[in-house]
Chains A and B, each alone.
Chain A
Amino acid sequence: MAAEASRWSGLRNAAILLLLWEIVGRLDLVAGGALPGLTEILHRLWIDRADYPLHIWATLYASGLGFVIGNLVGIAAGVIFALFPAALRVFRGVNIAVFALPPIAIAPILVLTLSGMAPRVTLAAMGVYFVTMTATVIGITQADSRARDLIRAYGGGRWDVLRLVQLRGAVPAILAGLRVAAPNAVLGAILAEFGGGGRWGLGTYLLGSLGRGEPDRLWGIGLVATVIAGLSYAGFALLSRRMLGASRAVTLNAAVPEAAPAKLSPVPRLLLGLAAIAMPFLLWWGFIRLTGVPDLISKTPWGVIDYLFLGRSAESAQARLLAALAETLPITFVGMLAGLGFAFLLAISSRLFPRAIAAFMPVALITQTMPLVALTPLLVLILGRGTTLTLWVTISVTFFPAFVTLAQGLALVPRSAEELPRAYGASRWTEIRMVTIPASLPYLFAATRLTVPRALLGVMIAEWLATGKGLGNLLNQSRGFLDYGMIWSVAAVSVALSVLFYQIVVVIERRVLRRVGMSSAE
């Protein structure tokens, strides 16, 4: 009954929202008609219907192929990492870089070095790889340790454990990963379309229509992109729900998890650490050698150092890069802090106003399946091309994932822990101060780790597409000027910065959580 009632109220809320949208749109209340009514959008969609198939096909092709490739690589890598922890250590740098890099920053590089659909497929695959790889490693290593003991007690080896317990046991985790990865692939493909070339694709279509100032068409494209991403999410959500029914562990694992493998002595540990740092550069170098693109266009790590520090134009290059950073970094931090702050306040207050937040939660969850950054052109219509735009893009791409992470984390706090203060007559506020806020700490850090790269991506997209400032703009300009050194430098610097910020958050997280005796949330 309760589920039924909440479903009805959800439908009711959605209907109210759509009605409001329609009224606001029809009356041109937002920025002189930048937000058309839903029926106007659908009408335009119908008029443009002949344009769509090829654009949709191009985006679907790139994201679909990228999805398949990214998942194959991700699952294979995940299995290897789970079986050989040393490999995981060596590839740590690569994995963090893939997770943290703003896709828009490397899109121009991929366009320079690869041809045809390959850049789009690669970016889509990279968006998928990290999610699936992580899910696979977690799924395999967290397999029931008692079941593992059982196989070993009959003389079974590592392969038997993998075959009989771990692979099948990892399926729910992997499916959950695929669910998140599917919209990522669509986003990656669209970002690559923004980043360069090609005639077809929803991203190309969106960019081409931005200059013509036709809000109803832009919104139509945005709607189609959202529906594609949402459907891909829903498909895997359905699949994983089917599979989960038969796979959820039926009892709690009471066994103490195995201790981490014996501590490495300093020398091998140092070597592994160095390998982890060297690996991304090695892959960068190998990628260039493999593609065989001439040195003029493709820069090796050494080429970038030469361009930034040794070459004739080094001084001017440094100056331009630093000026761009000075524009980009402050707004990245402000946007991220604002997004995180809103998310934190809202998640905490969900304890005070559970019903209001429960009504908001579906909206927040739906945004998780939306290629939010790819919808920046729509925000340009409403907010113009100023700093406000950058800020709002950044806040919107950080707020939603942070809120979902925090809200879902807080839902895991045992009810008894929350009821204890209440049993002694504490007020709601005391309860929140004593239980909810401390308990949210691991999730706040998890949300921060998640949002650091997204914030930089949001800022760079806004700069690239609209504001004409900062790193994003520098990257876009350098494409026009055929300034290959700068393209590679901006890419390298933005990836390096993302990794650096990510690592800083990780270090602070470890320190703080260790002090308060908590462990980090996945």
Chain B
Amino acid sequence: MQVPDGIALDGVGKTFAGRGKVVEALRDVTLSCPSGSFTAIIGPSGCGKSTVMRIALGLESADAGQVRIAGAPPLAAARDGVTGVAFQDAALLPWRTVRRNVEVPLEVLRQPLRANAAKVQAMIELVGLKGYENALPGELSGGMRQRVAIARALVTHPKVLFMDEPFGALDQILRRQMNLELQRIWAETGSTAFLVTHGIDEAVFLADRVVVMHANPGRIVEVIDIPFARPRAPELFSDPAFHAVCDHIAKVLHGG
């Protein structure tokens, strides 16, 4: 494996058996994300992009091929605290305060909470939720909940950060704001980021490379490098060059 700190998938295949027929969810998915890079993966519903992430997280096992996260098998990497994850919808525990929600990964990894209190506080401040440490999720807006999820994903200082449509439930305006925030946060932490998304503009704005997948069977059809310099400003969203890249990806998505 040539990228010890990043994500490496090699010939990954996955089939699901349901109702008498077998669905080939993934076929020969090979992808390597260098350390510190930002990769976005995009495709139509049911193309297996979430399955790729779930396999990389160790939530599902691959039927074929090999997966290495920072050089280790997914579950081992997860137990070592190498990975961080944010799901679509914040998936916060409603009975825990913001701080206690951010602490969840630490508890699972059996890390001492008191020794990490400063780190937790720093993450809450990083996502701009200072003053809300003791609020319950029910008292927060959708965007704030998503920030809690991001803080929770970052609290272990993960080398690899997975995000499955983290802003899927937000409106377009809030989503743009969160994209800017995410770019800033990711730049500060220097982790390898892996983003599953539906939004072409979101993928192009954030990523170094956009991976396009097709369904039946789920497979990678093209990997597009995004040339724009960082840090990227919101003006980029109205840049003709930006739109050209987006149009190209849309074409690939629709089988062009």
Contacts and interface: CB of A to CB of B under 8 A. Distances in A.
A246 B138 contact: yes
Contacts of A246: 94-95, 136, 138
A147 B59 contact: no
Interface in B127-159: 136-138, 140, 142, 145, 156
B79 interface: yes
B59 A154 contact: no
Given A146-B89, A146-B91, A246-B95, A154 B81 contact: yes
A250 B108 contact: no
Contacts of A165: 93
Interface in B53-110: 54, 57-59, 75, 78-81, 83, 85, 87-95, 104-105, 107-109
A147 B80 CA distance: 20
The 5 closest A-B pairs by CB, nearest first: A155-B79, A146-B91, A155-B78, A156-B108, A154-B108
Interface string A144-182: 101101111111100010001100110100000000000
A155 B91 CA distance: 17
Given A155-B79, A248-B94, A250-B145, A160 B108 contact: yes
A259 B90 CA distance: 23
B95 to A, nearest CB: 5
B231 interface: no
Contacts of A412: none
Contacts of B79: 154-155
Contacts of B255: none
B112 interface: no
B241 interface: no
Contacts of A155: 58, 75, 78-80, 108-109
B18 to A, nearest CB: 7
Contact of B87 (A149, A169, A250, A252): A149
Contact of A164 (B89, B91, B107): B107
B169 interface: yes
B59 A153 contact: yes
Interface in A248-292: 248-254, 259
B81 to A, nearest CB: 7
A155 B85 CA distance: 12
A249 B92 CA distance: 9
Nearest to B50: A255
A9 to B, nearest CB: 31
Contacts of B108: 151, 154-156, 160, 164
A150 B85 contact: yes
Contacts of A250: 92, 94, 137-138, 140, 145
Interface string A404-420: 00000000000000000
Nearest to B19: A259
Contact of B58 (A153, A168, A247, A248): A153
Given A151-B104, A168-B95, A251-B169, 12 more contacts: A144-B93, A149-B54, A149-B59, A150-B85, A150-B104, A152-B58, A153-B83, A154-B108, A154-B109, A155-B75, A169-B93, A246-B138
Interface residues of B, number: 35
A44 to B, nearest CB: 48
13 contacts: A146-B88, A146-B91, A149-B54, A149-B87, A150-B87, A153-B57, A154-B104, A154-B156, A155-B58, A164-B93, A169-B93, A250-B94, A251-B142
A240 to B, nearest CB: 13
Interface string B175-212: 00000000000000000000000000000000000000
A246 B96 CA distance: 8
A254 B168 CA distance: 11
Nearest to B54: A149
Interface in A119-164: 144, 146-147, 149-156, 160, 164
Contacts of B18: 259
Contacts of B54: 149
Contacts of A247: 94-95
B15 to A, nearest CB: 14
Contacts of A168: 93, 95
A180 B83 CA distance: 44
Nearest to A144: B91
A146 B152 CA distance: 14
Nearest to A149: B59
A152 B61 CA distance: 13
A146 B104 CA distance: 13
Contacts of B57: 153
B59 A251 contact: no
A254 B88 CA distance: 9
Interface string A56-67: 000000000000
A246 B88 CA distance: 22
Nearest to A243: B95
Nearest to A252: B89
A152 to B, nearest CB: 6
Contacts of B85: 150, 153-154
Contacts of B162: 153
Contacts of B92: 147, 250
A247 B54 CA distance: 27
Contacts of A248: 94, 138
Contacts of B169: 251, 254
A154 B78 contact: yes
Contacts of A169: 93, 95
A259 B136 CA distance: 31
Contacts of B81: 154
Given A156-B108, A251-B169, A147 B93 contact: yes
A169 B145 CA distance: 18
B136 to A, nearest CB: 6
A411 to B, nearest CB: 23
A253 B90 CA distance: 10
Contacts of A154: 78-79, 81, 83, 85, 104-105, 108-109, 156
Contacts of A153: 57-59, 78, 83, 85, 162
Contacts of B89: 146, 251-254
B75 A147 contact: no
A253 to B, nearest CB: 8
A146 B90 CA distance: 9
